[in-house]
Chains A and B, each alone.
Chain A
Amino acid sequence: MQYALIIREAAEDFARRDDPTYRDGWVAYSQALAQAGIMTGGAGLTGPETGTIVRRKGEDHDVQDGPYPEGKEQLGGFYLIDVPDMDTALEWATRVPISDKGSVEVRPRLQM
């Protein structure tokens, strides 16, 4: 079954992305996923300040500079992994090298 590991990082984490210790943790994690043969997709995203939000406004579109500073965490990226069950997905989620200010959400992929 496929699961998305949705990574949310805190502002401090985004700021640490150039710090090799932090960055190498992610490289190592991605390598471990690849080595275990379960990674089927994913992407890291640039910081929230580079985001732009498009909303439908009736017949029109509203384009705004994002993001909204509503949450303490912002989407940093995601992995798509193929593992037998939720428990295995959770096990992989515990290895994601986020700080204690971030979070990982594990969600099964919608079956179509």
Chain B
Amino acid sequence: MPPDAGRAAEKVARQSYGKLIAFLAARSRDVPAAEDALSEALASALRVWPERGVPGNPEAWLLVAARRNLMQAARHRTVEANAQTTISVAFEEAEERMNAAGSAVFPDERLKLLFACTHPAIDSSVHTALMLQTVLGIEAKTIARSFVVSPEAMSQRLVRAKLKIRDAGIPFVVPPRPALPGRLAAVLSAIYAAYGLGWDGLDGENERHSLAGEAIWLGRALLAVLPDEPEAVGLLSLMLHCEARRSARRDGSGRYVPLDEQDTAAWNAIMIAEADALLRKAGSFDRFGPFQCQAAIQSVHAARRLSGTTDWQALTTLYAALVMMKPTLGARVSQAAVIGRALSAAAGLEGLDKLDPRDIASYQPYWAVRAFLLTRAGDDTAAADAYMTAIGLSDSPAVRDFLAGRLKGM
């Protein structure tokens, strides 16, 4: 057996996981049952494929195996006589679609599942985690690690949410237009959160890259279904802007490079062009929202590639708009940083002083920005103190080293 066969099997299994769960759960509405059946199918695939080779249509193979498992489980649960019929119908339909001439592609219904995972009836604190697990097939253990909660706590929350989806009859649909605006916000935040985790949450560069890539994929899929939603367009623009700078975030020796010191030649020009085109398209709808605003902020930063300078005034205006729409702690700290550059360090510090001491006690970016502005204001003693707190609050060795360098260079 070639050593890579196992990894290839794992990759294709993982890629199919979310699509198959979405397909099965959209019909049975029973996420746990679909997961159990598919997990078993995956386990046998990982046993069998490395020896016999990955089948020509891995999704069909998995679907057939999952079907066997689901049917067996349904037979054991005579109470849910109902489920068995639903499942059979689902499988008949699936097989029909797969056998239909010319359609080699398995229908992708992950968006429906995504809307179910971010339903208002589900506690909003598990929206992203639920999406990561069911739609993208990321293990609960990994999710717990990136959310920094204990693995049992995360599993419990996910199990509870899935039972609620089943027992409360939460629908698997992309909601009709009138209901959409309220629902869309949760979906967009969950996709962006997944992108953020792909950015810095998980171990291993490959795993990380693929999660960010999946989030962008979901953003594109959402856009294909809802081409006229400016915030969906804005989110994709935002993610592409960030993605375009991926390789410039670390230097040759893995050291952290802050945005305004990044080498613009290392940015992906094609991605930036697409992101800017999307932002213009979003603007044409005349419905401005937080994701478009954040994309616009990134676009201003990206413009340094051509002009060589950063337009801090434009950023001040955009941050004022963002804070008005969504006054999150992160937005307010960034706003202070931008004001500190555009106006004066004192004006930036004034903004920081308005924040609630309880919120900022363990918020690392606050201390890093504070240290930076205090240095500019010439208060070296207070700056050194703030740098120490920022270093102590960092969970990334690269950021820690960067801040330590700043502290030393004062």
Give me the interface of A with B, judged by CB distance under 8 Å: 21, 24-25, 27-33, 35-37, 86-87, 90-92, 94-95, 97, 99
**B residues within 8 A CB of A36?**
361-362
A-contacting 9-mer, from B52-60, B88-96, B175-183, B386-394: B386-394
Check A94 against B395 for contact (C-beta < 8 Å). Answer: yes
CB distance from B178 to the nearest CB of A (A): 37
- Shortest CB-to-CB span from A37 to chain B, Å, is 7
4 smallest CB-CB distances across A and B, nearest first, come from A32-B392, A28-B391, A28-B392, A29-B392
Pick the contact of B404: A21, A31, A86, A91 (CB < 8 A): A21
| Pair count A-B, CB < 8 A | 60
Asked if B263 lies at the interface with its beta carbon under 8 angstroms from chain A, I say no
Is the pair B149, A31 in contact by a Cβ cutoff of 8 Å?
no
Q: Give the chain B neighbours of A30 by CB distance below 8 A.
A: 392
Checking B153, B388, B395, B404 against A95 with a beta-carbon cut-off of 8 angstroms, the contacting residue is B395
Interface SS majority for chain A: helix
Residues of the A chain whose Cβ atoms lie less than 8 Å from the Cβ of B391: 24-25, 28-29, 32
A16 to chain B, nearest CB (A): 13
> 17 A-B contacts, Cβ less than 8 Å apart?
A28-B400, A31-B385, A31-B388, A31-B389, A31-B392, A33-B392, A35-B361, A35-B389, A35-B392, A36-B361, A86-B153, A87-B153, A94-B395, A95-B393, A95-B394, A97-B397, A97-B400
Given A21-B401, A36-B362, A37-B361, also A90-B392 (CB < 8 A): no
Determine whether B101 belongs to the interface, using a CB cutoff of 8 Å to chain A. Answer: no
Residue of B nearest to A93 (CB): B148
Complex-state Cα separation, A37 to B358, whole angstroms: 10
Cβ-based interface call for B150 (8 A): yes
Interface size on B, residues (CB 8 A): 20
The B interface is mostly helix, strand or loop, or mixed, namely helix
A32-B362 contact, Cβ under 8 Å, with A21-B401, A95-B394: yes
- Quote the shortest CB–CB distance from B381 to chain A (angstroms): 14
Apart from A24-B391, A91-B362, 9 more pairs, CB < 8 Å: A27-B392, A31-B389, A31-B392, A32-B388, A32-B391, A35-B361, A86-B150, A87-B148, A97-B400
Among residues 127 to 174 in chain B, which have CB atoms less than 8 Å away from a CB atom of chain A? 148-150, 153
In the assembled complex, how far is the CB of residue A61 from the closest CB belonging to chain B, in whole angstroms? 39
Nearest-CB distance from A25 to chain B (Å)? Answer: 6
Q: Which residues of the partner chain B approach A21 to less than 8 Å between Cβ atoms?
A: 401, 404
B144 to chain A, nearest CB (A): 9
Q: Which residue of B lies closest to A92 (CB)?
A: B362
Cα–Cα, bound, A30→B148 (Å) = 20
* A-contacting residues, B378-410, CB 8 Å: 385, 387-395, 397, 400-401, 404
Closest Cβ of chain A: how far from B387's Cβ, in Å? 8
Q: In the assembled complex, which residues on chain B have CB atoms less than 8 Å from the CB atom of A99?
A: 397
C-alpha gap A31/B390 in the complex (Å): 10
B150 touches A90 (CB 8 A): yes
> Taking CB as reference atom, which chain A residue is nearest B386?
A35
* B150 contacts A95, C-beta separation under 8 Å: no
List chain B residues, Cβ under 8 A from A28.
387-392, 400, 404
